[in-house]
Amino acid sequence: MERQNEAVAEAIDWQADVFRVLKDHDVKHVVYVPDAGHSTAIKMAEADNSINSVVLTTEEEGIGYLAGAWLAGERGALLMQSSGVGNCLNTLALQAMSRFPLLMAVTMRGDWAEFNAWQNPMGQKTEAALQLMGVMTWRADKPEDVAPLLHGAATMAFNGDSATALLLGQRLIGEKKWVK
Amino acid sequence: MGEVSNALSTTGHQLGGPLDRREVVASLLKDRGDLLVVTGLGSASYDVMAAGDHDGNYYLWAAMGSAAMVGLGLATAKPDRSVVVVTGDGELMMGFGALATIGIRRPANLTLAVLDNGHFGETGLQESHAGRGVEIDRVAAELGFSWTNRIDEMAGVEELREKIADRSGCKLATIKIKAENPPRVLPPRDGVYIKNRFRAALGHAPI
């Protein structure tokens, strides 16, 4: 039974689900600092001519960008790693004060079976930091949870002028192999 | 040129320049038509407000370093309108990486107008990076901006106004202004109001 569930889980391409859900919500801008867990969504966004894919030098750039796009009536999403959440904290004031939809998908480090302990301080506080700044959060640790939770986060961002984040857990992403 | 514009920084660089910031911004926004304006927090937003409040102005009051990226998002989503970001050298440099992000995107309708007084004007006029020799327009030129300039006379400001309107490429100018703080003219601080007013001017209803 356990093995059967694993087989079902592996059949769900959760990385592609991230992009599909963004498309379903009429996202026109995908702004990101790359992470391995986002690589499929980034590839799909870059290949899609109806999406503006914008690589950032640092994550907080994405908050300003998405505020600007929303001023012109267009939706977007910010993809980043948990370390980038720390970079965003002060800039989240822009969302808190002007209340525009800010949808974030965050791949976790320092969360489970982390080899590089330098990731742990930010990874262990990522969700709390987001919540302290007024962002609503959800966590996905199973492939089948990604699409419905991201759909929920997108719905509440775009229908509530709210900041929402889906954390993509390290168990979902898999252990990073440091030594082959 | 007045005494201030000749002043040198501790590193021997010229601090700002001869131009009057209010005169510069009033000239940039003269007969603005359907120009969209984003302001960085601090003095740049007071200058834009002093030139006349407008539905097409989006004033930032925090998130220092974000003005250029708000401009990029807006210009990308609204390619048929000219967008100018009016901000200070310190605000721009807090988000300096944004110049690289904009440099690889280069929307033809976006201009960054950087008011460079060589100081952190809002916090006691400490010398800034620009005042100590960082030439922001040269960085932008290296990063692929279509047009850059360093402006220290009003004729250059008038040329910039025409450049903003022509949507012929992604541009940046550093405008060398005096290090002085004219009386504050405060923009509205209600972020939701500013956002909804701006969006309404573009035909978007509140959610």
pLDDT of residue A177: 78
* Residue the block writes with tokens 């994405």: A62
Q: Which CATH number belongs to the domain containing residue A143 in this structure?
A: 3.40.50.970
Q: Using the predicted structure, report yes or no on whether residue A140 has a pLDDT greater than 60.
A: yes
Q: Is A86 exposed, middle or buried (0-12, 13-18, 19+ CB in 10 A)?
A: middle
Inside any domain, residue A69: yes
This prediction has a pTM of 0.95
Measured between CA atoms, the residue of chain B closest to residue A70 is B74
* Residues shown for chain A: 180
Total number of domains constituting chain A: 1
Inside any domain, residue A2: no
Q: Nearest CA of chain B to the CA of A159: how many Å?
A: 7
Say yes or no: A61 contacts chain B, CB-CB below 8 A: yes
Cross-chain residue pair A29–B66, CB shorter than 8 Å: no
Cross-chain residue pair B77–A60, CB shorter than 8 Å: no
Mean local confidence (pLDDT), A88-94: 98
Cross-chain residue pair A63–B63, CB shorter than 8 Å: yes
Q: Which domain holds residue A71?
A: 13-173
Say yes or no: A155 contacts chain B, CB-CB below 8 A: no
Mean local confidence (pLDDT), B52-70: 98
Say yes or no: A163 contacts chain B, CB-CB below 8 A: no
Whether B43 contacts B175, CB under 8 Å: no
Inside any domain, residue A4: no
pLDDT per residue as tens digits for the range B117-167: 999 998 999 999 999 999 999 999 999 999 999 999 999 999 999 999 999
Cross-chain residue pair A64–B195, CB shorter than 8 Å: no
Cross-chain residue pair B76–A52, CB shorter than 8 Å: yes
Say yes or no: A28 contacts chain B, CB-CB below 8 A: yes
Distances (CA, A) of A157 to A55, B81, B179: 22, 27, 42
pLDDT per residue as tens digits for the range B8-39: 999 999 999 999 999 999 999 999 999 999 99
Say yes or no: B60 contacts chain A, CB-CB below 8 A: yes
Which of B66, B78, B101 minimises the CB distance to A94?
Answer: B66
Say yes or no: B104 contacts chain A, CB-CB below 8 A: yes
Mean local confidence (pLDDT), A117-138: 98
pLDDT per residue as tens digits for the range A21-50: 999 999 999 999 999 999 999 999 999 999
Mean local confidence (pLDDT), A140-167: 98
**Beta-sheet strand order (sheet of B147-151):** B57-59, B36-39, B83-88, B110-116, B171-176, B147-151
Say yes or no: B70 contacts chain A, CB-CB below 8 A: yes
Pairing type for strands A27-32 and A75-81 reads: parallel
Pick the CATH number of B14-201 from 3.40.50.970, 3.40.220.10, 3.30.230.10, 3.40.50.300: 3.40.50.970
Distance, CA of B160 to CA of B149 (rounded, Å)? 9
pLDDT of residue B1: 40
Q: Nearest CA of chain B to the CA of A68: how many Å?
A: 4
pLDDT of residue A2: 52
Inside any domain, residue A167: yes
Cα dihedral across residues B11, B12, B13, B15: positive or negative: positive
Inside any domain, residue A165: yes
Inside any domain, residue A144: yes
Q: Using the predicted structure, report yes or no on whether residue B3 has a pLDDT greater than 50.
A: no
Distances (CA, A) of A49 to A15, A37, A69, A85: 19, 22, 17, 28
Inside any domain, residue A163: yes
pLDDT of residue A40: 97
